């Protein structure tokens, strides 16, 4: 581009935007940091204008946040079950009615996203999907049936984003607070007909087409080892250490071995203790990191009373720290470590990286009608997003996307309902009642089909604005990859 043309653009659009258009990068120069939003209320919420979140005309702020070109790095955040209601419940409790999350609420490009699965037999819409079908939608760009991972309704496997990133020479990571074989992380690791086929035993029984002894790709855990992200972190070590004959590899070069033994034999850096994470200084294809910090899902951050019938009549309770949480790294710590390892990776230095980050137990605690549990896991996601935004603003060409896989059942209400309720005392001294009405006490609350928030920062984030579908995430990231 000519110097004259560049100068004209600089005058009309601003230096930061021009840097992106002409191929420059805003790296560490603080004067080129693209804006994020501060959406706290402007004053006392009971005064005229006090509840306003907009501090004047934001047109220039949004204009400055628009970034063109492809992204060297992409970080995709998934709040499992994090519908608008779940975000509002957590924000009210932690930040107050006029408060704002410094991560989730700071992303300048925001849209709404439809999500649904399809009937396996007919291909018609299934309006309330599960995490496997929704994850497959953004990972591969194709709608599928509930419980399917990385395959369409005909059983055909489609390339996922992590596989694509590897093909393009990027470093890759996949981290979660759930078992690493759970549906959302699995969609970047595996292609299989049933999400519950974690290991050889379940795969032999329920996904025979994928079993190694039948010529298939293996269980989700076995496919993870073959997909070989540079960084993998979460829970789910029990499947790797299971040692009954049915849990061992049933065919192939590692026949008769546990998955843990197989991982070590294949060069993985296997760790299960939080304290060992600090000592990990490199992760690459020669020695990928496989860090599994719990046999199952990781413990949640906060605990409190579950919703009960008539719970709104009880005194307002406060959420408390879960002692078990201290034994595992936070999602923020795992995110920071992943970014550090992926940027030091030779592929990451040259071509950048792709990282998927999931806060999984917003959903799991919502299923259990546990408001405090889901609040803490939404907080975990926000803290991780804030760290990623700090990195992206300094680095200059990183796309950060924050969304959910599906909506869930919690609602803010004004009193008891025919379902379950719990009353919480928020940090600003108000009482908040959260209701769950899609299952009886002791049952599992259902997902809901409401559209979802999607928000982004960095190159290509403007494509998220307006109404998109979940499959669009795949194509937006592909476009950002170039």
Residue 274 C-beta-side C-alpha neighbours within 13 Å: 13
- 451's enclosing H/E stretch is none
Q: How far apart are CA 31 and CA 189, in angstroms?
A: 39
Q: Could you give the residue ranges of the DSSP H alpha helices within 103-144?
A: 131-140
| 268-to-186, 199, 290 alpha-carbon distances in Å | 18, 18, 6
| 452-to-27, 114, 363, 405 alpha-carbon distances in Å | 32, 6, 14, 8
Q: What are phi and psi of 107, to 5 degrees?
A: -65, 130
Rounded-to-10 torsion of CA 80, 82, 87, 93:
-60
**Which residue(s) pair with 424 in the sheet?**
317, 432
Crossing angle of the two packed helices 331-344 and 371-395, in degrees rounded to 10: 30
Strand positions, DSSP E, 381-451: 398-404, 411-413, 420-425, 431-436
Determine which one of 85, 117, 131, 237 is catalytic: 131
Residue 275 appears among annotated catalytic residues: no
Q: Could you give the residue ranges of the DSSP H alpha helices within 111-247?
A: 131-140, 161-167, 183-186, 200-206, 220-227, 237-241
| 109-to-11, 185, 246, 350 alpha-carbon distances in Å | 24, 25, 49, 28
For residue 448, give the nearest of 78, 127, 87, 125 by alpha carbon. 127
* Cβ contact 361:183 at 8 Å: no
3-class secondary structure, 370: coil
For residue 181, give the nearest of 375, 358, 408, 366 by alpha carbon. 358
Q: Residue 418, Cα to own-chain centre: how many angstroms?
A: 33
For residue 308, give the nearest of 447, 448, 446, 433 by alpha carbon. 433
Q: How far apart are CA 479 and CA 462, in angstroms?
A: 12
Structure token pair of residue 95:
């930040």
3-class secondary structure, 169: coil
Catalytic residues: 131
């Amino acid at each position: 581009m000519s110097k004259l043309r560049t100068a004209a653009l600089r005058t009309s659009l601003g230096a930061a935007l021009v840097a992106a258009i002409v191929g420059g990068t805003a790296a560490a120069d603080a004067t080129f940091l693209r804006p994020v939003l501060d959406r706290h209320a402007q004053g006392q919420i009971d005064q005229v204008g006090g509840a306003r979140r907009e501090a004047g005309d934001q047109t220039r702020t949004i204009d400055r946040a628009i970034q063109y070109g492809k992204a060297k790095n992409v970080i995709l955040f998934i709040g499992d079950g994090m519908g608008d209601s779940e975000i509002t419940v957590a924000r009210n409790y932690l930040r107050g009615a006029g408060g704002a999350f410094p991560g989730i609420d700071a992303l300048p490009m925001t849209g709404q996203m439809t999500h649904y699965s399809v009937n396996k037999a007919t291909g018609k819409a299934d309006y309330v999907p599960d995490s496997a079908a929704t994850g497959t939608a953004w990972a591969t760009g194709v709608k599928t049936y509930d419980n399917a991972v990385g395959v369409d309704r005909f059983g055909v496997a489609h390339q996922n984003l992590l596989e694509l990133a590897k093909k393009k020479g990027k470093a890759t990571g996949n981290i979660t607070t759930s078992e690493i074989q759970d549906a959302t992380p699995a969609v970047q690791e595996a292609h299989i007909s049933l999400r519950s086929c974690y290991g050889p035993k379940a795969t032999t029984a329920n996904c025979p087409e994928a079993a190694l002894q039948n010529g298939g790709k293996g269980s989700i855990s076995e496919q993870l080892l073959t997909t070989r992200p540079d960084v993998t972190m979460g829970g789910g070590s029990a499947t790797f250490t299971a040692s009954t004959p049915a849990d061992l590899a049933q065919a192939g070069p590692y026949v008769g071995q546990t998955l843990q033994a197989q991982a070590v034999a294949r060069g993985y850096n296997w760790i299960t203790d939080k304290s060992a994470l600090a000592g990990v200084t490199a992760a690459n294809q020669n020695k990928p990191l496989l860090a599994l910090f719990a046999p199952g899902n990781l413990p949640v951050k906060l605990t409190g009373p579950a919703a009960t019938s008539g719970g709104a009549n009880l005194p307002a309770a406060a959420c408390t720290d879960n002692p078990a949480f201290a034994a595992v790294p936070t999602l923020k710590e795992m995110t920071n470590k992943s970014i550090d390892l992926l940027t030091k990776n030779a592929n990451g230095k040259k071509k950048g990286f792709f990282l998927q980050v999931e806060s999984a137990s917003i959903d799991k605690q919502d299923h259990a009608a546990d408001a405090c549990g889901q609040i803490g896991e939404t907080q975990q996601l926000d803290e991780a997003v804030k760290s990623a935004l700090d990195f992206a603003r300094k680095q200059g060409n990183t796309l950060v996307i924050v969304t959910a896989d599906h909506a869930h059942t919690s609602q803010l209400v004004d009193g008891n309902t025919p379902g379950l309720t719990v009353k919480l005392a928020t940090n600003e001294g108000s009482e908040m009642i959260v209701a769950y009405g899609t299952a009886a006490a002791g049952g599992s609350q259902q997902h809901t089909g409401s559209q979802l928030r999607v928000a982004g920062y960095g190159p290509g984030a403007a494509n998220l604005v307006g109404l998109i579908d979940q499959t669009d995430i795949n194509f937006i990231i592909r476009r950002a990859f170039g």
